[in-house]
Structures are given as C-alpha cells and as structure tokens.
Structure 1
Amino acid sequence: MASCKKNEASLYSCDPVVHQFVAGTSWEGINREELSNYQIDTLIAIFRSVSSENKASIWREKMDLLLATESFSDDEAAFIQSIRDAITPELYVNTPDNQAIPDSLENSVKQRAVVYSWSEEDVLYYFALPHSRTQLIDYIQKSNKEGGGTSAGVNDCSCNFSMNRCRMLDYRICANYGCNVLPSGCGFLFRGSCDGNCF
C-alpha cells in the first residue's frame, strides 16, 4: 500500500492539486448538502479539513435527512435517531479511549441491518455516504463520464475495506493497487481509513 510522504495529520489529500484547493479555503461550517456536491477525492479532503464539530454536524444532518425522507418503521426511526444522538464531535477525535464507541455503533448497525432486512446498499447509503438519493444518482452519472487519476498520477484511496461503498457507485470491490492510503474520511460515518479504490 502506498502512503503520503508528508505529515499525514496536516495533509488533506496526496494529490497536490486537491490538497492545495482544500488547504487554500476555510471549509468550516460546510453542510452535508454542500459537501456532497464535490467529487469523492475532494469531498474526503474537505471532510478531513474541518473540525470534529463540523464532521459530527454533517453526519447528524444525514440522519435528519434519512428520518425526513425514508419510509422507516417506528422502530427503525428510533434506531436512526439513537445513532444521530450518538454522533458527537468526540467520535472524530482519535484517542484509544473513544475507539470502542464507534466500533460498538457500527456493530449495532450491522446487527440491526439483519433485523430490519436492510440490504448492504441501504447500510452504505445510510452510514457511508453523505449524499441524498438524488445527489447520489447525479454523482454516479457524473463519475461514470469522468476518468480517474490525479494530477500526481496516483489516486488517493477512496473506499474502506470493512464498509465498502463501491457497490453504491456501480463498482464491485474495494481494493488497493497502489493508491495513497489516508487515515480517515471513509467507512462508517467517515471515521475509517481510506485504504482502497473502487474497481
């Protein structure tokens, strides 16, 4: 697996053009809808650049969107609300003490997905992509027309092996064939590393 050479804590993207674009602007206060308008490499970089409070706010907005637009049973809606209530800025501060909290949330989602008969695509849409359904369709259509790659010639990784959103984006697998690994911005509520690309 590849990794960026610079200090990863201050690096938003291994692509220097994307990094410069994100580093040159204050993204604090960006909301879920605005963030979802960017291509995935830029979206991940922007998400990595904002505060823990902003990250939590984006995912609470996604849970609000789900509660407003999906046809959930009362039990499903209560579960989504409980996840929303658990999304706090502390989830986005990497310390050994709080690692168990998101792990237990993700495990709870996986267990409830079986009970509620949610498909893998449902789980990915609910918890691994900030987009609305309309934004996701637009994103897929746009990304299918555009080529991959970066100005540096190597892609940043854009998916997480454990919560593989690739199936939502008209691909099959998340694999690493030399992409630059990023420590966050993918997986469950974007807390996981980006360790592969969609193929």
Structure 2
Amino acid sequence: MYAGNCPVCGRNDQCQKVSAIHAAGTARARGYTYDHRRRRHTTTVSQTALAARLSPPVLHSDVTGAVRAVMMLALGLFAHLCVGAMIHDSGDALAAAVFAPLWLSVWFIVPSALVLTVNLLRSRRLNADLPRRRAIWQVWNTLYFCARDDVAFAPGGRPFHPSQLPGFMQTTTGPFTDLVRV
C-alpha cells in the first residue's frame, strides 16, 4: 500500500503501484499443442483490461522477425547453390547453373531481405530512442493507481487517467513533462 495519499481523494487505502497491478493482472502460460502428430511449444498471455491499460513501455526490440528473415535468406541461398550445383553437374554452362535456379531462390531471398531490412531499421530506431525509453521506464516504476478515483499518478505529480499512459510512452508532453528527464 502507498504511504502517501491520492491527489484526488486524499486517501491511500485504494492506492497500489502500477507495476504490481500489471504483474497481478497478467498471466502467462506455456504449454504444448499437437498439430499433425507434432508437438509445438505455445505461449499464451492474458491480461485484465486495467493491466493492459497500465502496460509498461517497451525497452528492447523483438528480434524474432530478424532471426526468421536470416533463416529464410540462408535457406534461399542454400536452395540456389544446391540447384545450381545439380544443373552444373548435368553438363550445362556455368551461366545456366547460376541463373536457372533464380526462380526457386528468389521466393526466399527477396521477402527475407525485405523483412530483414525492416527489422534492422526498426531495431536501429528503437536503439536510438533507448535513453528516453529508459527514463520513461523509471517513471513508470514510480507510478501509482487509485482504484477509487480511477487515476494514475506519480508521488508529488498531477493525476491522470490511465488511458493517457500510452501517449506518455510515445512523447513527453502533457502532464508528464515534469516527470521525465532525458
């Protein structure tokens, strides 16, 4: 329980840390599903509406798309080399061995190169913005929520509605200018 008082009602019996509400309202379950006799790992995340509204800022980029793109790129290059080696072994010219398998490998190489480029640009943008997001993360860890008044606030700061929190994550304007120091 919060030692201070809510800036709206002046009481503290319904005040709780935003991080605690988010943790209590978020459930993650890992398990397995069977699809065509193959066991696959699954992860399910469920959240209460309040936990979703009070979600923390994203600190690190998700690299799974980039990893999948690199794997597709490697698969496309491997397919190109294998088909090219088979054509070259059959006695055709080297130019035919290089250009003939393009119809197969282009379906892997072009989409994976596009996905990889988008993921690298997104990661670069997120890394450039990391100091601001770290500062916002520190502020998020100090926020409290009053269930009686449905407001979030930082100790000593102005109250705001939880629906304003995503805007706080994107910019440092509005009621949050005095909270974030980047």
TM-score by length of 2: 0.27
Larger strand fraction of residues: 2
TM-score by length of 1: 0.25
